[in-house]
């Protein structure tokens, strides 16, 4: 669907392709392979000489609808769906990098992304330098003649640090490297990194795109060349593909994406303001707050602050665990991007495997609590948190 439509329209309409039965709701094509009229047609489809579906590792109508809808929302030329967010990052790296090449990566990315670059891709001769998400000069300093990929996540999780996408994209461009932005926390409903000069957008569709914590999925978006020749080529061969069932679930989730993102951001801002005024809370990290050090940049890049609010409870780990354990409604679980609010203690869960010094350097204190705000009423969230703060 062309760009003249607004995000809300694209969210419910883009990518829809009706079958011969003219169904109104998008169909789920649960099939591994597709039948050909004859051998010549099979041969033409296999070589790519003729359009048409072949085999669901790399072509399926429900997955195509998911890809086309997300591409329309991100304003991207091409989208390739993957089995999870991590396989989207892996597929991007395998497509863009070879032994001897170098990556510059924000040090405030998802933990498994750090492990992928520092311990897995390093075994294949790809070196990574980790730099501050907010200090553009560190990105510039880290550049080598072999640098091929810049990778960042903005806002970061759990501290909501904001990377200046346009400024880092300019450094990447000068260095001849591609900039990939993990847009999981904002989704295209709040932020469209390609408009700020990013080359690729990465998604864990497991989070807000589904929105209801049901299935895993991922995607890579950008210009046709790197996405279709590079990422699609890797996916077709190596097979970390999105299942049609998951694509269908996420496709239907995306119909309410914009509404959810705006409503969850509104609740998150209310909750962040309440926490900021709470005597037992030392500090609140939320880009939508005027007190956030990069509030102005966040508001230039994002339509709203997003759903992740982190706060430091006075009294360290004991006080933080008391807040978590005193909740009766909020779910104690590591996932985010769900309409049900979740709560975690980053220092002992998502960041538990890194050293205490690295944690401290990253600002993940023992008193830090992360809340991924859902759609419940803010007064009910406050009551659930107040029990442990009181």
Ligand X SMILES: Cc1ncc(COP(=O)(O)O)c(C=O)c1O
CB of 340: closest distance to ligand X in angstroms? 16
Q: Closest by alpha carbon to 277, among 387, 159, 157, 386?
A: 386
Q: For residues 367 and 63, give the distance between their C-alpha atoms in angstroms, rounded to a whole number.
A: 42
Which lies closer to ligand X via its Cβ, residue 153 or residue 384? 153
Query: For 26, which DSSP code?
Result: P
Tokens of 174: 């000068």
* Contact flag: residue 199 with ligand X (CB under 6 A): no
CB of 34: closest distance to ligand X in angstroms? 27
Binding ligand X (rule: CB under 6 A), the pick from 209, 216, 249, 261 is 216
Binding ligand X (rule: CB under 6 A), the pick from 93, 206, 327, 342 is 206
CB of 277: closest distance to ligand X in angstroms? 29
CB of 84: closest distance to ligand X in angstroms? 3
In terms of C-beta density within 10 A (0-12 exposed, 13-18 middle, 19 or more buried), how is residue 199 classed?
buried
Report how far apart, in Å, the C-alpha atoms of 82 and of each of 53, 115, 201, 235 are: 17, 19, 13, 8
Question: What track of x and - describes contact with ligand X for positions 103 through 122 (by CB under 6 A)?
Answer: -------x------------
Overall size of the chain counted in residues: 390
CB of 37: closest distance to ligand X in angstroms? 38
Q: For residues 106 and 362, give the distance between their C-alpha atoms in angstroms, rounded to a whole number.
A: 11
231 HSE (CA, 13 A, CB side): 28
Tokens of 338: 């769900």
Q: For residues 99 and 173, give the distance between their C-alpha atoms in angstroms, rounded to a whole number.
A: 21
Report how far apart, in Å, the C-alpha atoms of 131 and of each of 99, 138, 303, 363 are: 21, 6, 26, 14
Check: CB of residue 88 under 8 Å from CB of residue 183: no
* Contact flag: residue 193 with ligand X (CB under 6 A): no
Which lies closer to ligand X via its Cβ, residue 218 or residue 388? 218
Binding to ligand X (CB under 6 A) within 219-238 occurs at none
Which lies closer to ligand X via its Cβ, residue 189 or residue 281? 189
Q: For residues 160 and 155, give the distance between their C-alpha atoms in angstroms, rounded to a whole number.
A: 5
Binding ligand X (rule: CB under 6 A), the pick from 61, 193, 218, 367 is 218
250 HSE (CA, 13 A, CB side): 33
Binding to ligand X (CB under 6 A) within 145-184 occurs at 153, 157, 182, 184
Which lies closer to ligand X via its Cβ, residue 81 or residue 172? 81
Which lies closer to ligand X via its Cβ, residue 83 or residue 313? 83
Which lies closer to ligand X via its Cβ, residue 185 or residue 385? 185
Query: For 116, which DSSP code?
Result: I
* Contact flag: residue 366 with ligand X (CB under 6 A): no
CB of 269: closest distance to ligand X in angstroms? 20
Q: For the chain, give me the number of helices (H) and strands (E)? A: 16, 12
Sequence-distant (≥ 6) Cβ neighbours of residue 4 within 8 angstroms: none
* Number of other CB atoms surrounding residue 373 within 10 Å: 30
Q: For residues 229 and 216, give the distance between their C-alpha atoms in angstroms, rounded to a whole number.
A: 24
* Contact flag: residue 312 with ligand X (CB under 6 A): no
CB of 204: closest distance to ligand X in angstroms? 3
Question: What track of x and - describes contact with ligand X for positions 71 through 100 (by CB under 6 A)?
Answer: -------------xxx--------------
Which lies closer to ligand X via its Cβ, residue 204 or residue 243? 204
Which lies closer to ligand X via its Cβ, residue 75 or residue 213? 213
Position closest to ligand X via CB: 85
CB of 219: closest distance to ligand X in angstroms? 10
Residues that bind ligand X (CB under 6 A): 84-86, 110, 153, 157, 182, 184, 204, 206, 216, 218
């Amino acid at each position: 669907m062309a760009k003249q439509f607004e995000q809300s329209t694209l969210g419910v309409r883009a990518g829809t392709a009706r079958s011969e039965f003219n169904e109104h709701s998008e169909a789920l094509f649960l099939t591994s392979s597709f039948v050909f009229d004859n051998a010549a047609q099979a041969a033409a489809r296999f070589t790519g000489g003729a359009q048409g579906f072949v085999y669901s590792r790399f072509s399926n109508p429900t997955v195509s609808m998911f890809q086309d809808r997300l591409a329309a929302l991100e304003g991207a030329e091409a989208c390739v769906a993957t089995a999870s967010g991590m396989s989207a990052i892996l597929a991007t790296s395998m497509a863009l990098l070879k032994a001897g090449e170098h990556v510059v990566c924000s040090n405030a990315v998802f933990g498994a992304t750090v492990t992928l670059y520092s311990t897995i891709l390093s075994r294949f001769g790809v070196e990574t330098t980790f730099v501050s998400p907010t200090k553009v000069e560190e990105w510039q300093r880290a550049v080598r003649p072999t640098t091929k990929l810049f990778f960042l996540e903005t806002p970061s999780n759990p501290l909501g640090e904001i990377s200046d996408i346009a400024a880092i994209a300019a450094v990447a461009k000068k260095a001849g490297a591609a900039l990939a932005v993990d847009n999981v926390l904002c989704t295209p409903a709040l932020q469209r990194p390609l408009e700020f000069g990013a080359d690729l957008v990465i998604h864990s569709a497991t989070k807000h795109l589904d929105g209801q914590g049901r299935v895993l999925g991922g995607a890579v978006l950008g210009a046709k060349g790197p996405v279709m020749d590079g990422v699609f080529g890797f996916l077709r061969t190596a097979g970390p593909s999105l299942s049609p069932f998951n694509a269908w679930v996420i496709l239907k989730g995306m119909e309410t994406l914009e509404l959810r993102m705006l409503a969850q951001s509104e609740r998150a801002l209310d909750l962040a303001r309440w926490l900021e005024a709470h005597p037992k809370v030392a500090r609140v990290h939320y880009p939508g707050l005027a007190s956030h050090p990069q509030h102005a940049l966040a508001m230039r890049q994002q339509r709203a602050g997003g759903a992740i609010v982190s706060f430091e409870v006075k009294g360290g780990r004991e006080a933080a665990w008391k807040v978590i354990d005193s909740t009766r409604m909020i779910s104690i679980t590591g996932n985010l991007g769900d309409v049900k609010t979740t709560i975690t203690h980053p220092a002992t869960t998502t960041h538990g495997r890194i050293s205490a010094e690295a944690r401290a350097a990253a600002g993940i204190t023992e008193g830090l609590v992360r809340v991924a705000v859902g759609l419940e009423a803010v007064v009910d969230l406050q009551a659930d948190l107040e029990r442990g703060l009181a």
